[in-house]
Structure 1
Amino acid sequence: MAHDHDHSHHHLHHAGHDSQRRLAWAILLTGGFMVAEVVGGILSGSLALLADAGHMLTDTAALGLAWFAAWISRRPADQKRSYGYHRVQTLAAFVNGLTLIAIVVWIAIEAIRRFLSPVAVMGLPMLTIAMLGLLVNLVVFAILHGGDRDNLNIRGAALHVLGDLLGSVAAIIAALVILTTGWTPIDPLLSLLVAALILRSAWKLTRESGHILLEGTPDGLDAATLRCEIPEQLEAVCNVHHVHVWSLTPGRHLVSLHAAIDEDEDRQAALLAIRNLLAERYGLDHATIQLESRHQCADEPEPEPDEGHRG
């Protein structure tokens, strides 16, 4: 058995440090404005503002979790965690996705209550605070959006802030409608609209991070395709089986497989050829390859998908 590891330590260290710095700024700005929005929501009676403040409260905690994940993911691998701590970022993204879904449920319940029992809303304070909130959210979103696009942790944090941004826009529109027409149901109505938009992104984030945590096959890669194409591309290989492909984090895919070659083939050359093909054609730089003789795998049945991940 042989291993091919290309961790790109320098790039990962730089990306991790940048993510941590961006998240720290996001925490500072979001947590700081949250207090003002809570006070403004209570004084004005606006659900849109309180919903946005609730977002910012959970966002501050979510950003803190994301910051912790970015920090701990930079720790090197050790005896207990041979892959290091990179998967913590995916776990944090999964938790953030679930938190967003919980927020959507809370907003929906509160909006229904407001429809059944309308309350007076002060339009001017609501408008002022919502505009300030929009400015803060735009700055925070720009900070996070400029980070690593493949980092689910950063994407999860950005989705929280995007929810706040949409909430601020909804609060501004609701405040303008209330100031011009006095129609207060616009406040919970727009809150429901924002909740629906957040739910879509939250579900996508939760599903994608959950797929990685379950070590699902990455998009664009297929074990059956590898089993067929590697023997077709390499004459030295007569059979490929026990193929499993999964992700450590988005963009960091791993593969393990058994490859059968003829007895008279150069094993080292065959191993190198398989590594190069996996890296150049499929972008799989981290491969665990076990070489076998042709007679060891003759007519060996491929395990069913539920028999285990790595065969």
Structure 2
Amino acid sequence: MTTHSHNHGENANARQLSIVLGLVGTFLVVEVVYGFLSGSLALLSDAGHMLTDAAALALSLFAIKMGQRPADRQRTFGYRRAEILAAALNAGVLLAIGLYILYEAYLRLRSPVEVQTTSMLIVAVLGLVVNIVSARLLVAGSGDSLNVKSAYLEVLGDLLGSVAVIVGAILIRFTGLEWIDPVLGALIGLWVIPRTWILLKSSVNVLMEGVPEDFQLDALRSALEKLPGVSEVHDLHVWSVTSGQHNLTAHLVSANPPAELLARVQAVARQYDLDHSTVQIEVPGLHTENEDHHDHGELHP
């Protein structure tokens, strides 16, 4: 029953993401074309930000589609890590785009370019409408899915970019100060770069099988050590297959393990939102013997 409704939820999220991706992708092309025609760096930098939205939407949709594929002999954990691989690649590209926007803003501050504020304003207003519609489509699923929540936050962020371009077009139109455009472009670029860096850092942490961010590993170790019959916990590993899917492996030393020990370990794992746990029960002294055996096999200078 739970799996059935979960699949329905994923299918609904996939439909919403597909619609929003179509809207954002179409407007992205329009914004790039008019950005070059109007000469507005703010419009082009907002298009770069819109590209981050399109990429995030595509990644979220891709993750849902790939995550529905069953595990096989080659991919025993399934295909959900494809989301992380794509996110890391995407983050690298977007980081380069953000740095290029800053460089272009520097050049335009030195040599201002005339901006056609009418085209800039019209396209920015259209972008604001697209983002409002997209946000309304995604808000329903943002509470249940981390993927959809991420895409929803991206769209909300782009609302700020559209507002910045609108304000810039109005100010330039009434003041004639061309430097406002590259400054706004640089500000949008500075807003994109930290978010992209966080995405890259999080993706690399998953690929390196690091402990999930904000996970209390010491607290988990303490909870396992307090279980009846457990005298030691070692080889404790917690990592993510993909965002929101955390796994646990551990060795528990127990001279007389109670029959319900594994069930209690599973209960602790659920408290820490660990989806899959593998536990080995050892008799006292076995870990030390294994370490000694390993040491004897090493070559020392």
The interval holding the TM-score normalised by the smaller chain is 0.7 to 0.9
Residues 228 and 44 of structure 1: is their aligned pair in 2 closer, same or farther, counting only changes over 3 Å? closer
Residues 286 and 165 of structure 1: is their aligned pair in 2 closer, same or farther, counting only changes over 3 Å? same
- The residue aligned with 1:97 is 91
Aligned-residue RMSD, C-alpha: 2.8
The Cα of 1:116 is off from its aligned counterpart by 1.7
**Greater RCO (CA < 8 Å, at least 6 residues apart):** 1
8 Å CA contact retained: 1:72, 1:88: yes
1:260 aligned onto 2:253: yes
Q: Alignment partner for residue 288 of structure 1, among 278, 281, 288? A: 278
The Cα of 1:146 is off from its aligned counterpart by 4.0
Structure 2: which amino acid aligns with 1:276?
A: A
The Cα of 1:241 is off from its aligned counterpart by 1.1
8 Å CA contact retained: 1:258, 1:292: yes
8 Å CA contact retained: 2:253, 2:282: yes
The Cα of 1:162 is off from its aligned counterpart by 4.6
1:215 aligned onto 2:209: yes
Residues 95 and 166 of structure 1: is their aligned pair in 2 closer, same or farther, counting only changes over 3 Å? farther
* Gaps in structure 2 of 5+ consecutive residues: 292-301
Looking at structure 2, the residues matched to 202 and 22 of structure 1 have their Cα atoms a distance apart, in angstroms, of: 24
Looking at structure 2, the residues matched to 101 and 283 of structure 1 have their Cα atoms a distance apart, in angstroms, of: 32
The Cα of 1:54 is off from its aligned counterpart by 4.0
Q: List aligned pairs for 1:8-157, cutoff 5 A.
A: 9-10=3-4, 12-56=6-50, 59-60=53-54, 63-148=57-142, 153-154=147-148, 157=151
8 Å CA contact retained: 1:37, 1:50: yes
The Cα of 1:229 is off from its aligned counterpart by 3.2
Secondary structure, in 3 states, of the residue corresponding to 1:183?
A: coil
Secondary structure, in 3 states, of the residue corresponding to 1:184?
A: coil
The Cα of 1:154 is off from its aligned counterpart by 4.1
Looking at structure 1, the residues matched to 117 and 51 of structure 2 have their Cα atoms a distance apart, in angstroms, of: 23
- The residue aligned with 2:297 is none
Looking at structure 2, the residues matched to 70 and 102 of structure 1 have their Cα atoms a distance apart, in angstroms, of: 27
- The residue aligned with 2:244 is 251
Secondary structure, in 3 states, of the residue corresponding to 2:70?
A: coil
Structure 2: which amino acid aligns with 1:226?
A: L
8 Å CA contact retained: 1:151, 1:250: no
Structure 2: which amino acid aligns with 1:287?
A: S
8 Å CA contact retained: 2:228, 2:261: no
- The residue aligned with 1:173 is 167
- Scaled by the length of structure 1, the TM-score of the pair is 0.81
8 Å CA contact retained: 1:19, 1:154: yes
- 64-73 vs 176-185, greater mean Cα deviation: 64-73
8 Å CA contact retained: 2:43, 2:185: no
Q: List aligned pairs for 1:179-218, cutoff 5 A.
A: 179-218=173-212
Q: Percent same amino acid among aligned pairs? A: 42
Looking at structure 2, the residues matched to 61 and 224 of structure 1 have their Cα atoms a distance apart, in angstroms, of: 36
- The residue aligned with 1:276 is 267
8 Å CA contact retained: 1:47, 1:188: yes
Structure 1: which amino acid aligns with 2:15?
A: R
Residues 296 and 147 of structure 1: is their aligned pair in 2 closer, same or farther, counting only changes over 3 Å? same
The Cα of 1:187 is off from its aligned counterpart by 0.4
For each residue in 1:79-101, what CA deviation from the matched residue of structure 2 results, as whole angstroms up to 9, or x when unmatched? 11111112222333333332332
Count residues with an aligned counterpart: 291
